[in-house]
Amino acid sequence: MRATLLWFRHDLRLQDNPALHAALARGVPVVPVFILDEAGEGRWPMGGASRWWLHHSLQALDAALRERGLRLILARGDSATMLRALVRATAADAVHWNRRYEPAIIARDKAIKAELNGAGIEAKSFNSGLLHEPHAIANKAGGPFQVFTPFWRHCLTLPVAEPIKISLATVPAPAKWPQSLGLDELELRPRIPWDAGLGETWTPGEAGGMKRLRHFAARAMEDYAEERNLPGRDGTSMLSPWLHFGEVSPRQVWAAVQARSKASGVFPPSKGAAVFLSEVGWREFAHHLLFHFPHTPERPLREDFAKFPWADDPQGAKLRAWQRGLTGYPIVDAGMRQLWRTGWMHNRVRMIVASFLVKHLRLPWNHGAEWFWDTLVDADLANNTLGWQWSAGCGADAAPYFRVFAPVLQGRKFDANGDYVRRWVPELAKLPAENLHTPWEAPAEVLAEAGVTLGKNYPHPIVDHATARDDALAAFKALRSGSR
């Protein structure tokens, strides 16, 4: 009997899933499968926080499938080998999946599609993860965009497809299911429990993602442009991990904003909504860059930046202080501790901590990218690469070399009352707001009353801001002079 293998990857949802929709249209039994192929990820296998999320997302997907008479078959190993075995076990004559855009995955999938089609198996892939696929977008010269504003302006002229509504009332299942690993056999959860904060913060899976989307879309977006910069408030969508794992699609996000525009008859309905959609645009831009410049996860887009004079950190002490949130700059430390505890960091603070690493400490942006890759639940190769190269000044649309985020000014501007710092750096919680972002300048009696002993329960700053800024600017100027 014929069957269709539905190969789940970063599309762990049942609605607006083009591969699922096409599989159902064939009218034969559908066998959903997920293959953990760590070698197939190339140089970027999943980090610890992403593995935690994936475990719980697969659990949620399997439960949703079982409610509809299906189940999720789990395998581990080489994707091509596992698919061949599953085709034999199910007599499948088709394999459907949704595309991914990481360089190693593109190469692997191309080989798999050729092999399957050559064997008479219908191999089809679909777009489920982006509004517009990278190969479909080009500038006036026919090449890739390297600046966000014209890229997004162009995208806004293109139609966005409606989310696909899928009926799962009667889904044909195979008479006999192939063998499957148990979820725990994938060994995605940490052996040493460190994930309590992740479980307190997130609900992986399609249902959790759609709940968050409804919550965000129901709020007034008029203030989003301002609120998104205040880390002490619930002002951002926090949809990034659900988008990364495909539990929510960008088309569903777009449609949610469109729904808000119906009453006003204007799309987008407000400045805040337009800014929010531009954040979706940055995600699109990141994938556009990764597709066209596949070397950028390891090397800067601006080749001359490979000669940048990074500072020495022979014992790794400065890097460890940054990673642990012990730099002595409260807004930086708060961000790094939020990251470790929850697997996520507010976007404004991501820019602050990234600038601190590459410009105050003058440590390579790759170190930051690797740390984020391991600790973010939304660790996405395209977004991570774009963000770090932007901060370092070596990528597309990069921050100007002279832009050095001043952590004290950033803290005072965007966390004026100190709500964010007090939450994530509790040893400073009793300091008054005027001293919170510069505890080293606080009078001794204020520190004593707040229970703060610099050098003991909170560190002195590991670098002086003014000196570090001058050194960074000198290094950037030297690089620019040498590249002329």
As given in the structure block, the two tokens for residue 268 are: 């987008």
CB atoms within 10 A of CB 218: 10
The Cα 401–Cα 157 span in angstroms is 32
For every residue of 341-407, DSSP letters joined together read HHS---HHHHHHHHHIIIIIS---HHHHHHHHHHH-TT--HHHHHHHHHHHHT-STTPPPTT----H
Active site residues: 279, 282, 310, 347, 365, 388
As given in the structure block, the two tokens for residue 206 are: 């399609």
The Cα 374–Cα 383 span in angstroms is 14
Handedness of CA 263, 265, 268, 271 (dihedral sign): negative
> What is the gyration radius of the CA atoms in the chain, in angstroms?
24
The Cα 149–Cα 130 span in angstroms is 18
As given in the structure block, the two tokens for residue 109 are: 């999938």
Residue 187 near residue 54, CB atoms below 8 Å:
no
As given in the structure block, the two tokens for residue 375 are: 């600790």
Residue 458 near residue 428, CB atoms below 8 Å:
yes
The three-class DSSP label of residue 407 is helix
User: Residue 349, Cα to own-chain centre: how many angstroms?
Assistant: 15
Q: Which of 363, 361, 360, 381 is nearest to 372 (CA)?
A: 381
As given in the structure block, the two tokens for residue 20 are: 């699922």
Amino acid identity of residue 31, one-letter, is V
Amino acid identity of residue 323, one-letter, is Q
Q: Which of 152, 33, 136 is nearest to 86 (CA)?
A: 33
For every residue of 182-217, DSSP letters joined together read -GGGG--S-SS---HHHHHH---SHHHHHHHHHHHH
Assign 3-state DSSP to the chain and report helix, strand, coil percentages, each to 5: 50, 5, 45
User: What is the crossing angle of helices 407-414 and 330-342, to 10°?
Assistant: 70
Amino acid identity of residue 201, one-letter, is T
Side by side, which strands form the sheet with 30-36?
73-76, 30-36, 4-8, 94-98, 122-126
